[in-house]
Amino acid sequence: MAYNVTLIPGDGIGPELTEATRRVLEATGVKFNWDIVNAGVDVIEEYGTPLPDHVIESIRTNKVALKGPITTPVGYGFRSVNVSMRKILDLYTCLRPCKSYAGTPTIFNDIDLVIVRENTEDLYAGIEFENGTPEAAEIIQAIEKLSGNKIRKDSGISIKPISVTGTERIVRFAFEYARANNRRKVTALHKANIMKFTDGLFLAVARQVAEKYPDIEFEDRIIDNMTMQMVKNPAQFDVIVCPNLYGDIISDLGAGLVGGLGLAPGANIGDEAALFEPTHGSAPKYKGMNKANPMAQMLSGVMMLRHLGENEAAQRLDAAIAAVIKEGKRITYDLLPEDKRSQAVGTSQVADAIIEKLG
Ligand code: NAD
């Protein structure tokens, strides 16, 4: 049987990475019918939007998608296509494992943690009011009336909604994931000391959900303290569950701890569909240079194989990637110390090396 999977190459380094990943996935022997559709700045001219309806329809139909990174203009232009996809499809969980692979130039070699980030709420809900607009003036007036707090008239406003419903389902996901994967502990992140009605709610609901899982240890950390502890002693953490913004930041921190963004995969999972993509972005400066590390994209493919129930193929691909890293001969520049970067190979050569290991 072949799996129907939506393939979104993305932009920047995305097309090179997804092509390398498609090759290694097919080399596992698992069969795919790829429905290749695109989104992002390059399709605006043709479809009048960076996220055409047929892209969403394809994911809804196939229920599984592999996606390359997509560029978002900073501070102007269209809203993030990535955030929109997650919202439209209600992909409420962002799952990001951070695992040490032997041979990477890092301080720690014993990290094996999983970040479970809420994907639809918080300051990333996309509810914003631009400074100077009538809408911003109205919301400022309403907030002043309701809260008694003064807000400067020339402010922009971003809204941070965190709900009981959204928190319950993400924390439940974290505990279910912990149980299914023999994990021992869940740590919830927050800033409940300052934001009592949003992060405070997140913590209170997390504590309630935790009571239903007495077999899994539960603890919480204030986010600023967490960043320090993750850098000092990351091995103490196992499954981490958090609201959207902290999850975004802590994911890059986790990626840095295990050797960089080139090794950090991810999945966006909802009740109806799942979309697999690396933590990193489109790295536009490396576009078309056959230089970027495809392993985060490939490891997202490993997560996709597991999601499809192809555990043996997932295990073999993960082991082949690990073997290429350990050997250290055919790896991209980012996995090499500065003085050895001239020995780096390109994106497609990494795929060749992994396919060789798959045999
Ligand atoms: P980035 O992740 O693209 O790059 C950060 C740094 O890591 C850069 O130095 C880059 O060269 C390096 N890097 C990233 N991936 C790499 C890889 N596979 N191999 C080697 N080096 C790699 O982050 P950015 O520069 O902040 O963002 C660029 C664009 O990507 C922005 O438009 C941003 O909005 C977008 N973005 C998209 C996604 C997504 O599609 N899910 C996620 C994050 C950022």
Instruction: Please indicate whether residue 69, judged by its CB atom, sits closer than 6 Å to ligand 1.
Output: yes
The one-character DSSP state at 239 is: E
Neighbouring C-alpha atoms within 13 Å toward the C-beta of 211: 5
**Crossing angle of helices 14-27/295-307, nearest 10°?**
50
Nearest Cα residue to 346 out of 297, 263, 266, 290: 290
Instruction: Please indicate whether residue 277, judged by its CB atom, sits closer than 6 Å to ligand 1.
Output: yes
Strands 2-8 and 31-36 come out as parallel
Q: What is the CATH number of domain 1-95+264-359?
A: 3.40.718.10
Instruction: Please indicate whether residue 268, judged by its CB atom, sits closer than 6 Å to ligand 1.
Output: no
Instruction: Count the neighbouring beta carbons within 10 Å of the beta carbon of residue 118.
Output: 27
pLDDT computed for residue 159 by the predictor: 97
Distance of alpha carbon 218 from alpha carbon 233, whole angstroms: 18
Neighbouring C-alpha atoms within 13 Å toward the C-beta of 256: 9
Nearest Cα residue to 351 out of 11, 4, 28: 28
Distance of alpha carbon 290 from alpha carbon 287, whole angstroms: 8
User: How many angstroms does the Cα of residue 136 sit away from the middle of ligand 1?
Assistant: 31
pLDDT computed for residue 58 by the predictor: 98
Strands 217-222 and 185-190 come out as parallel
Could you give the residue range(s) of every CATH 3.40.50.2300 domain in the chain?
107-118+162-257
pTM above 0.85, yes or no: yes
Nearest Cα residue to 83 out of 120, 129, 118: 120
User: How many angstroms does the Cα of residue 211 sit away from the middle of ligand 1?
Assistant: 38
Could you give the residue range(s) of every CATH 3.40.718.10 domain in the chain?
1-95+264-359
pLDDT computed for residue 83 by the predictor: 85
DSSP states of 13-57 as a string?
Answer: THHHHHHHHHHHHHHTT-EEEEEE---SGGGHHHHSSSS-HHHHH
Instruction: Please indicate whether residue 120, judged by its CB atom, sits closer than 6 Å to ligand 1.
Output: no
- Known catalytic residues are 124, 191, 224, 248
What is the third-level CATH fold of 107-118+162-257? Answer: Rossmann fold (3.40.50)
Strands 239-242 and 64-67 come out as unpaired
Neighbouring C-alpha atoms within 13 Å toward the C-beta of 21: 34
pLDDT computed for residue 138 by the predictor: 97
Mean pLDDT by groups of 10 residues along the chain of 359 residues:
96 97 98 96 88 97 97 71 91 96 90 96 93 97 96 97 98 97 97 97 98 98 97 96 97 92 95 96 96 98 97 98 97 93 97 96
Lookup: tokens for 137: 């003036």
DSSP states of 96-151 as a string?
Answer: EEEE--TTS--S-S--EEEEEEE-SSGGGG--EE-TTSHHHHHHHHHHHHHH----
Specify the residue with its C-alpha closest to ligand 1, atom 24. 281
Specify the residue with its C-alpha closest to ligand 1, atom 34. 72
Nearest 10 degrees: Cα torsion 160, 129, 142, 190:
10
Nearest Cα residue to 274 out of 316, 307, 312: 307
CB 264 within 8 Å of CB 53: no
CA 126 from chain centre, in angstroms, equals: 17
Lookup: tokens for 105: 């130039």
